[in-house]
Structure 1
Amino acid sequence: MRDKKFILFFVLFAGLIFSGPVYAKIGILTTQQVGSMLQTQKNIIVIDTRNKQNYLAGHLPNAVNLTENQIIAPKEGELGLMPYNQQLEKIFSEYGLKSNAAYIVYSGEDYNNPANFIAKAAWVISALYWSGIRDIYYMDGGFEKWKSEKFPVVKGNYSLPKSHFIIKFNPSNILAQKGFLLWSINNENTMQIIDSRPRKEYLEGHIKGAKWLYAGDFLEKVSNYWVIRPKSVIENLFTKEDIDINKPTVSYCQSGHLSSVIWLIATSIFDKQSFWSFCGTFANLQKQNKIPINIGPIC
């Protein structure tokens, strides 16, 4: 039985490593690049992930308002998780999204919380990627940076005609299911685990052996918005916490939203295809008593 389980997870792991859509592009764009892209390219859909009130007060031209709260679904009593394919198809069709378009996603708000600032967009980007979208870009700095640089701003609501969005496949190099996480915990020579929650939550209890790297540490504040730190600084963050950027990794948090930031940074900046965001919650793992928990620092 043990050998069969090993073979099963080996096949699963091999599939996760090699079957991802290598043609997909997850990127980070400056506001200047976005401005140029919107002027020169067609078939681009812009998504504003801020709340409705802020969106209506001003947004990028032709941006639709799709927030992280509209792309969550309860599963097995857990809140805030990725919806099933049929639910995503319904949501994306309602908003007029198309599988063959390129996407620009931006955030804003949460001016005192860098993790939430980027996590709202990262979650939407992960949902698009999970649904088979090929080209998705995060606009660094968000709406306030765009506005401060005098790019055009439009008030009121904008909507696209309803579409018939169909998910043809789900990429394997993004969401880690519970079985894969448990296997990863027991195979620390092959895998590493990252806890992306705030330090206080990590010290109160984390998966045994998990390294800590707060999702908000990837950003630095400029005026009233947050921008992603230089690549060299982010590399030092990984090194400081003894995290190997080249090692297959599963990150987790309380809902998958902060861990999606780890996935976004690894995929867009370092072009890594072997990072996964756990599709579940740490709290639920604790309740089920299926994982070893440590209190305090890892060492």
Structure 2
Amino acid sequence: MSDIPLILEPEQLASLLEHEEIRVIDLSSPQNYLAGHIPGALGLPFQALMAGTPPAPGKLPSIERLTQVMQAIGLTPDTRIVACDDEGGGWAGRLLWTLEVIGHTNYSYLNGGMTAWKNAGLPLTTEDATVTPSSITVSIADDAPMIDAEQIQQRLGQNDLQIWDARSPLEYSGERMVAMRGGHIPGAINCEWTQLMDPQRDLRIREDAKEFLAALGIDGSREIATHCQSHHRSAFTWLVGKSLGLPIKAYPGSWSEWGNLSDTPIES
């Protein structure tokens, strides 16, 4: 399983489904999952991956909750998780980022998710998948790819950190406010998450992603911290950066935390 790529095409996954080490996790909406999913895929509600508590619902849940989730999907060190969803990669990326945070790097993303799978005419089933729970213990890895508000503030003046804001341009400018304060982190580059998806190729990651980002100034010359409102959209941008070999972390507090703090610097 070690030679399976991070970005997995539907046909590649189809040829791997019989391997017991492969575990497909589908983060599509419950109704879409029930209407037809990849044979053997387990449905996982995205809420399981988030703390869900205001003002920053996108932060990690407790270690106890994470342990329960990972045991429920049968995670072991040998399990190759393949994540997919029905919306272009945000929730799938959130699962893969969470796995990286707990030190499980044995994973792949189904490029284009269920849109690409269905449009390739590959098999679907409505049968419930079952899995034997594992007894894995979970902890936060020392090199977990995440950064917090205090760390960002400390590094803003050091010119060694680049902020990738994956929200919409209106959120970035502050015209659309979904927190106590609107705007963006000083110096942040705005590249909305959907700009990295190719609608002509079933929402796969755009083939020129590296060049596209470099043209915006996101070229990997500095460490990157990506965020959105609740680290859903930015879970996909983290995944894209990871797939391109960029030095990237995520800020799970995201704007729901930054914009609701009274002392964080903001530009608009």
Candidates 102, 107, 120, aligned match of 2:85: 107
Asked whether 1:290 is paired with 2:263, we answer yes
Q: 1:262 aligns with which of 237, 244, 251?
A: 237
Aligned counterpart, 2:69: 91
> In structure 2, how many angstroms separate the alpha carbons of the residues matched to 1:25 and 1:134?
12
How much has 1:261 moved relative to structure 2?
A: 1.8
Amino acid at match of 2:267: N
Report the RMSD for the aligned CA atoms in angstroms. 2.2
Higher normalized helix content (fraction of residues): 1
TM-score (norm 1): 0.80
Query: 2:9 matched to 1:30?
Result: yes
Q: Which amino acid aligns with 1:249?
A: I
Q: Are 1:131 and 2:102 counterparts?
A: yes
> What's the offset of the Cα at 1:26?
7.3
SS in 2 for 1:222: helix
Contact kept in structure 1, 2:115 and 2:203, CA below 8 Å: no
Q: Using the alignment, how far apart are the partners of 1:132 and 1:239 within structure 2?
A: 29
Moved more, 284-293 or 71-80: 71-80
The answer for unaligned runs of 5 or more in structure 1 is: 1-22, 111-116
> Residues 76, 59 of structure 1: CA spacing in aligned structure 2 closer, same or farther, 3 A cutoff?
closer
1:107–1:143 CA contact under 8 A, matched in 2: yes
Q: 1:1-299 maps to which residues of 2 (within 5 A)?
A: 27-39=6-18, 41-74=19-52, 77-108=55-86, 110=87, 117-188=88-159, 190-204=160-174, 205-222=183-200, 225-230=202-207, 233-268=208-243, 270-272=244-246, 274-295=247-268
Give how far 1:94 is off: 2.5
1:147 and 1:60 mapped to 2: Cα distance? 9
- The structural deviation recorded for 1:173 is 4.3
Give per-residue Cα distances to partners, 1:74-110, cap 9 Å, x unaligned.
Answer: 45742132212221001222232323211111111x4
Give the Cα separation in 2 of the matches to 1:280 and 1:26: 29
Distance 1:207 1:28 in 2: 30
Instruction: Please tell me whether the aligned partners of residues 250 and 278 of structure 1 are also in contact (alpha carbons under 8 angstroms).
Output: yes
Larger radius of gyration: 1
Residues of 2 paired with 1:26 and 1:209: CA distance?
34
Q: Hey, which of these two has a bigger chunk of strand by percent?
A: 1
Asked whether the equivalents of residues 26 and 44 of structure 2 are also in contact (C-alpha less than 8 Å), the reply is: yes
Q: How many residues are aligned here? A: 259
Deviations 1:15-42 (A, max 9, x none): xxxxxxxx99971011111112224x43
2: CA distance between counterparts of 1:24 and 1:275?
Answer: 23
Asked if structure 1 preserves the Cα contact closer than 8 Å seen for 2:50 and 2:59, the reply is yes
Structure 2 CA distance for partners of 1:260 and 1:24, relative to 1, 3 Å: farther
Q: How big is the shift at 1:119?
A: 0.6
Q: Is the 8 A contact 1:93 1:164 kept in 2?
A: yes
User: In structure 1, how many angstroms separate the alpha carbons of the residues matched to 2:5 and 2:250?
Assistant: 15
Deviations 1:254-299 (A, max 9, x none): 111122222211112x223x2110020313223322322111xxxx
Identity of aligned residues (%): 24
The letter for the 2-side match of 1:130 is V
User: How far apart in 2 are the matches of 1:81 and 1:212?
Assistant: 21
- Secondary structure of 1:38's counterpart equals coil
